[in-house]
Amino acid sequence: MLRLGRREFGEHEPVIMAIVNRTPDSFYDQGATFRDEPALARVEQAVAEGAAIVDIGGVKAGPGEEVDAAEEIRRTAGFVAEVRRRHPDVVISVDTWRHEVGEAVCEAGADVLNDAWGGVDPRLAEVAARYGVGLVCTHAGGAEPRTRPHRVGYDDVMADVLRVTVGLAERAVALGVRRDAVMIDPGHDFGKNTRHSLEATRRLDEMVATGWPVLVSLSNKDFVGETLDRPVKERLVGTLATTAVSAWLGARVYRVHEVAETRQVLDMVASIAGHRPPAVARRGLA
């Protein structure tokens, strides 16, 4: 069982986390949801299309304009409060590595802290424990926030992913974070080249075997673009293929831009696996 906010998710229930960027320079939507009105509309659409979680981010993952903690809080905390007011049952996640931001968004009503930079600020897990919220523990290969990998190497990339993510998860529980609110993330593209991300996907069942719920953030990422030689706006097919493989291997949570398309992929995989009946089953019965 995975328990986040007011929601409980069963072992075979795939969960969609919709991306809502509160940044003017996001790599995919180029700031389309930086202002409040389009961002709130994005939340409405994502929930209608089947997202159980919205993941709100106030800082672009890659290099760019410097954003200090105060500005990150300005971009996220008030928005979290408004989403909480409008959607009392939706799970609200905030993508941050800073404990100061974690404090502010938890006060505003966040349910999950999505630490995409691998515990670079160890106090963030302490905030999660103190507020009783969930935590995403990610492998970032020791990279500093907002940096790109350069000639990074691993003797065994999945062994390193397991060592880091399971270690972060166990530390979080020791600090007081609920075990059923902790997820681990292989961190596609973070501290990795394309071959590393492909191998992490291929061996995702090793993460699933740890017993921690696995979150994957695959949507339109560079490893998909490089694998297929496609620009950002032409990576949906590759993303959905990677999503299907990840679902078959047992991932639980999917951080995505395209909610409706992802919902269909996850429902199809769940039905093939025998965890979900067909929505309609008339063929051969009429």
Of 255, 263, 276, 282, catalytic: 255
Q: Whole-angstrom Cα distance, residue 112 to residue 17?
A: 11
Q: Whole-angstrom Cα distance, residue 161 to residue 170?
A: 14
Of 192, 221, 235, 252, catalytic: 221
Q: What crossing angle do the helices spanning 123-131 and 157-175 adopt, rounded to 10°?
A: 50
Q: Whole-angstrom Cα distance, residue 33 to residue 24?
A: 8
221 as an active site residue: the answer is yes
67: burial class by Cβ within 10 Å (0-12, 13-18, 19+)? middle
Contact 237, 219 (CB under 8 A): no
Contact 21, 55 (CB under 8 A): no
**What three-state secondary structure class fits 95?**
strand
Residues 6+ apart with CB under 8 A from 249: 204, 205, 208
192 as an active site residue: the answer is no
Residues forming beta bridges with residue 137, ordered by sequence position: 115, 184
Q: In which residue are the tokens 């919902």 written?
A: 263
Catalytic residues: 221, 255
